[in-house]
Amino acid sequence: MKQVIQINSIDDTKAFGEKLGSLMKPGMCLTLNGDLGAGKTTLTKSIGSALGVTKTISSPTFTILKIYQGKCPLYHIDAYRLEGLHQDLGFEELLEGDGVCVIEWGEYIEEILPKERLDITIHNGTDENREFEIQAAGTIYEQLLEKLI
């Protein structure tokens, strides 16, 4: 199931992230794709806020993984620097774990991602305008997308 929504401001991005975060449950996986500066980390911050994370969420570009505590753990992975890396990173445990997993640049680790997940590709527009292309794979993610839109 696929949907495209228009985002017209940073406030719209934050509101979308809050709503998405409020619908996510432990064990769910979300990938965020888009150009640098598209809003992937801004969206993750809002998801984290809805999950009760109080610590400042920042991009894990150089650490690859950051874990935040809230109502459930938020596993924030940045796979940008993992392209072409073929070793066991231990992410499978997180992807099937007790928290919500948000992966920026998920296309770089496609081979280890669960088949059922929510993928969001952010397309830049002018100023703060964005287009969120949302692909839900699996029944729970299709149901989540129906509630989200």
Query: According to the 3-state scheme, what is the secondary structure of 44-102?
Result: HHHHHHHCCCCCCCCCCCCCCEEEECCCCCEEEEECHHHCCCCCCCCHHHHHCCCCEEE
Rounded Cα distance, 149 and 136, in Å: 12
Q: Evaluate if residue 19 carries a pLDDT over 60.
A: yes
Rounded Cα distance, 14 and 114, in Å: 26
pLDDT of res. 90: 61
What value does the mean pLDDT take over residues 8-25? 95
Q: Evaluate if residue 125 carries a pLDDT over 70.
A: yes
What value does the mean pLDDT take over residues 24-36? 93
pLDDT of res. 87: 56
Q: Evaluate if residue 95 carries a pLDDT over 70.
A: no
Rounded Cα distance, 29 and 21, in Å: 11
pLDDT of res. 101: 94
| CATH node for 24-128 | 3.40.50.300
Residue 66: partners with Cβ closer than 8 Å, 6 or more residues away: 57, 58, 60, 76
pLDDT of res. 109: 85
Q: Evaluate if residue 63 carries a pLDDT over 90.
A: no
Q: Domain map of the chain by residue range?
A: 24-128
Rounded Cα distance, 114 and 85, in Å: 18
pLDDT of res. 139: 96
Residue 44, classified by CB atoms within 10 Å of its CB into exposed (0-12), middle (13-18) or buried (19+), is buried
Sheet holding 100-104, edge to edge: 2-7, 130-137, 117-124, 29-34, 100-104, 74-78, 65-68
Rounded Cα distance, 102 and 48, in Å: 10
Comparing C-alpha atoms, which of 100, 139, 109, 107 is closest to residue 20?
100
The phi and psi torsions of 131 (rounded to 5 degrees) equal -120, 125
Q: Can you give the pTM of this predicted structure?
A: 0.90
What value does the mean pLDDT take over residues 113-124? 94
Q: Which of 30-39, 58-67, 82-91 has the highest mean pLDDT?
A: 30-39
